[in-house]
Structure 1
Amino acid sequence: MLLAAALLVPLAPAPASAQRGKISLVRDAETEELLRDYAKPIFRAAGIASSEPQIILVNDKAFNAFVPDSRRMFINVGVLMEAETPGEVIGVIAHESGHIAGRHLVRVRAAASNAAVMSVIGMLLGAGAVAAGAAAGSGGVTQGGVAATLGAGSIGQRSLLAYQRGEESAADRAALKYLEATGQSARGMLKTFERMAEQQLFSSRYADPYAQSHPMARERFSALENEAQKSKFFNKAEDPVFQYRHDMVRAKLRAYTSHPKAVARAYPRSDKSLPAQYARAIAAMKSRGKGAVPDIDKLIRQHPNNAYFHELKGQALLEGGNPKAAIAPFRRALSIKPNEPQFMVWLGYALVGANNPANLPEAERVLKQAIQRDPNSGVAYSQLAIAHSRQGERAEADLATAKGLMVRGDFAGAKRYAARAQQNLKRGSPSWLQADDIVSYQPPQLDRGR
């Protein structure tokens, strides 16, 4: 049995309900950028760069990833947290890209090809897969922080797609080919697969969920190892820039998903490395809110052009109850990376939260720009709804709320708000038609007879 895979994180969870279970997607600009950079050369080598599957992070510490169709690749935060090197994550992405390129996804592809992200997740949940979830912040959502509340189960602990062992081997061979074509070592992939093979020595009670869904016999690993060692790139060192970015993201995810005491043990004050400072600053933000600003300012003084440090400062101020002060660091982050939609969401959130009517037109504009670039941000829609409402635009607020509920998988709630919006929108107008699309939407169903 195989749950084909690869995992995604603004650090902020976007909680979602989908049919029978609750999950949380993690949104983080820094982590998503790193995963895209890992994946781009692999996607090109696999011949899937034109469609460029979207990588989506799931708030689950299990080492697992899966691809429900050719357009989306889901990766648990556990993959990044457990992997010590970039090559281990790249190997997972390469293996799952092999499933996409090999068209191994026939069971759900037809149903999922035109579905929104949460519709796909809803189908997975309906088929027996449930992911971990978390919520924090205003209205159960933060745009920057990883969640801590678990759902009914874990995608990493269940298997949905039944592939033949031949397809697994084909994905293995394809992954080696992609790594060779991109001049990368397969050592990281071997390390991941060796762990999976070793898990077979333990009882299923203690087996790694990824190993359970990706059977890895010792003979199969040996064959893969022999083939990988033939590559002239096998002993090539990890890219130091990737390794640094990986260590930063790993520290970030650990800090967001762990208790501050656990962070202190993993990154003691004696550790002066930047990842350790980053983790401690995030842990301080979680426990002290704006009281962590001095720790974050130390990071900014060392690297004033690191947009993610400014983002963290803005988050600390926002969650510490000072949205007005958060506006400036979010503006700074956006000035460094002007096309990052998650920074736009943060800025819009702070502008709305400052409760100054003069900020609302800008908040509306920034949030709409964010949605154009990233239509899957439930936080953007919720803040846009508030901005519309405070400007007396009731129908627009209802429509934005409906769109946000669609993103989160609450289709019934979305239909109610869309129907209410229609009552106050001009019939046939673009907004009325958007509302009508929501009212008439029917989530695709997974064909279980195949």
Structure 2
Amino acid sequence: MPRFVPFFVLPERSSGMRLMRRAVALACSVTFLLPLAAAPAQAQRGNLPLVRDAEAEALLKDYAKPVFKVAGIANSEPQIILVNEKTFNAFVPDSRRMFINIGVLLEAETPGEVIGVIAHESGHIAGRHLVRLRSAAANAQIVAVIGMILGAGAAAAGAAAGSGQAASGGAAAILGSGSVGQRSLLAYQRGEEASADRAALKYLDATGQSARGMLKNFQRMSEQQLFSRKFADPYAQSHPMAQERYNGLLNEAQKSKYFNQPEDYVLQYRHDQVRAKLFAFTSHPSATLRAYPRSDKSPAAQYARAIAAMKSRGKGAVNEIDALIRTQPNNPYYYELKGQALLEGGDPKAAVAPFRKALSFKPDEPQFLVWLGYALVGANEPSYLPEAERILKQAIHRDPNSGVAYSQLAIAHGRQGERAEADLATAKGLMVSGDFQAAQRYAARAQKSLKRGSPAWLQADDIVAYKPPDLPNGR
């Protein structure tokens, strides 16, 4: 079941002039679609609205696995993270994480389109473009700073001489130096984008997959740029125009013996399921019923309508989900959905059984563990609390960034009279969400009741002593 959660992205430390901070922020990511200056604004501010969904994440992982292997990045296996944005975009801020907007899954009609995005971003990681981009950003910034110093000197000299003309000339030099530096950086990035496109073609061919999906992405982008590209300055773009990218890749892609390879039937089925699921969870129930009317008997349509029924708080929602389960009694995500419907419907005790059933199919899935722990805590049965604590700790061990797991663990500790442990769990959850000051207050309170030098005390001490890095742009 999708969970929509805030995610705090720790920025790199930076110091000096605001201008230098902005250069570091600009160089923080390489994107599939957005121009550098706009990429991605929320990451620069520190927060991203994320979607956590076990089914979607498992699908993306399966899409990425063969690509990561041939790209030579399988050992590090970058984590793919879903962003709650409906635009068609993806970006990599470092070699460990790949962010993909839900808009990619919603707009992509085939698995190949999503795999093309993953292959492109893998090209950036394998090519170490992020490291070189930061170096290029620094070089471009040096050009801009030198120009600013010279311009400021000319302006100061003009002001001392009482010359308005000289002063305005100095201002022009300041503005012009920034433009030269930016254009130098953008030209560099356009080259890296083309390099990532070529790498993506190579990865797709090496994994026996067609590049038609990736080409379709560029066709879609080209149609969106149809009216704007005639007025666009080609030297002020961070990415080559989509039509240019399409033209540059088409002939090479068609040489592959896999170009006409059909989509994998199983992946297409799973893709349709996830696409319907995300649409239903992010749309009003009436919009879902228009997109997936009762006349549509496909599994994806039935899935979407069951989610719409749950969101409408209808009494028949569980019946619709039960009908889904009868069609696929071994589908863990249908049991997960039933558990959510019962949990949100105010019956957490009844939700325990379907969550257990989901875990019986995927016992290592951390999100299933989180929601089973949530249901056990919500059932308000004292006898359930020790199991809830064990389950939630297991979930956190597998997924240490789950704020929900920490909050439910804190409740479980509190109900068992373990106040210090509850405060420490709360502090850890607040650290995950980026609320450092509140986390330190809870950690300091926990320390007072914990044995000095114990593992729990040391964990609390680490939180109390933590110093958040400076945010970009002076924040």
Shift in alpha-carbon separation, 1:109–1:422, aligned structure 2, 3 A = farther
Shift in alpha-carbon separation, 1:108–1:176, aligned structure 2, 3 A = closer
1:283 and 2:308 correspond: yes
Q: Find the counterpart in structure 2 of residue 172 from structure 1.
A: 197
- 2:255 aligned to which of 213, 226, 230: 230
Q: Deviations over 1:403-422 (max 9, x none)?
A: 11111121222111111111
Supply the AA of the counterpart residue of 2:3.
Answer: A
Where do residues 359-374 of structure 1 align in structure 2 (5 Å cutoff)?
359-374=384-399
Q: Deviations over 1:110-139 (max 9, x none)?
A: 9xxxxxxxxxxxxxxxxxxxxxxxxxxxxx
1:255 and 2:280 correspond: yes
Contact 2:367 2:395 in 1 (8 A): yes
1:92 and 2:117 correspond: yes
Supply the AA of the counterpart residue of 1:364.
Answer: E
Q: Judging by fraction of residues, say which structure has more helix.
A: 2
- 2:3 aligned to which of 3, 12, 22: 12
Q: Find the counterpart in structure 2 of residue 336 from structure 1.
A: 361
Shift in alpha-carbon separation, 1:444–1:42, aligned structure 2, 3 A = farther
CA distance in 2, matches of 1:448, 1:230: 47
CA distance in 2, matches of 1:363, 1:402: 19
SS, match of residue 288 in structure 1: coil
SS, match of residue 272 in structure 1: coil
CA distance in 2, matches of 1:443, 1:227: 48
Shift in alpha-carbon separation, 1:444–1:104, aligned structure 2, 3 A = farther
SS, match of residue 270 in structure 1: coil
CA distance in 1, matches of 2:372, 2:188: 44
Q: Find the counterpart in structure 1 of residue 424 from structure 2.
A: 399
Q: Find the counterpart in structure 2 of residue 59 from structure 1.
A: 84
Q: Find the counterpart in structure 2 of residue 32 from structure 1.
A: 57
RMSD of aligned alpha carbons: 2.3
Shift in alpha-carbon separation, 1:279–1:332, aligned structure 2, 3 A = same
Q: Find the counterpart in structure 2 of residue 3 from structure 1.
A: none
SS, match of residue 51 in structure 2: strand
Shift in alpha-carbon separation, 1:163–1:425, aligned structure 2, 3 A = farther
Where do residues 273-422 of structure 1 align in structure 2 (5 Å cutoff)?
273-288=298-313, 291-422=316-447
Contact 1:14 1:379 in 2 (8 A): no
CA distance in 2, matches of 1:99, 1:22: 23
In the superposition, the TM-score normalised over structure 1's length comes to: 0.81
Q: Find the counterpart in structure 2 of residue 141 from structure 1.
A: none
CA distance in 2, matches of 1:58, 1:11: 11
Deviation at 1:12?
1.1
Shift in alpha-carbon separation, 1:163–1:394, aligned structure 2, 3 A = farther
SS, match of residue 256 in structure 1: helix
Higher-Rg structure is: 2
Shift in alpha-carbon separation, 1:162–1:77, aligned structure 2, 3 A = farther
Deviation at 1:199?
2.6
SS, match of residue 105 in structure 1: helix
- Greater relative contact order (CA < 8 Å, ≥ 6 in sequence): 1
Contact 1:107 1:161 in 2 (8 A): no
Supply the AA of the counterpart residue of 1:352.
Answer: V
Contact 2:59 2:271 in 1 (8 A): yes
Contact 1:108 1:447 in 2 (8 A): no
Contact 1:395 1:421 in 2 (8 A): yes
1:272 and 2:279 correspond: no
Deviation at 1:257?
0.2
In the superposition, the TM-score normalised over structure 2's length comes to: 0.77
SS, match of residue 312 in structure 2: helix
Shift in alpha-carbon separation, 1:352–1:108, aligned structure 2, 3 A = farther
CA distance in 2, matches of 1:13, 1:367: 19
CA distance in 2, matches of 1:107, 1:417: 41
After the TM superposition, which of the residue ranges 190-199 and 62-71 deviates more from structure 2?
Answer: 190-199
CA distance in 2, matches of 1:401, 1:340: 23
CA distance in 2, matches of 1:219, 1:390: 62
Shift in alpha-carbon separation, 1:37–1:81, aligned structure 2, 3 A = same
Contact 2:81 2:99 in 1 (8 A): yes
SS, match of residue 61 in structure 2: helix
Deviation at 1:382?
0.5
Q: Deviations over 1:53-84 (max 9, x none)?
A: 00111111111111000000111111100100
Shift in alpha-carbon separation, 1:41–1:312, aligned structure 2, 3 A = same
- 1:186 aligned to which of 211, 214, 224: 211
Gaps of 5+ in 2: 10-43, 136-184
After the TM superposition, which of the residue ranges 66-75 and 290-299 deviates more from structure 2?
Answer: 290-299
Contact 1:15 1:24 in 2 (8 A): yes
Supply the AA of the counterpart residue of 2:71.
Answer: A
SS, match of residue 80 in structure 2: strand
Gaps of 5+ in 1: 1-9, 111-159
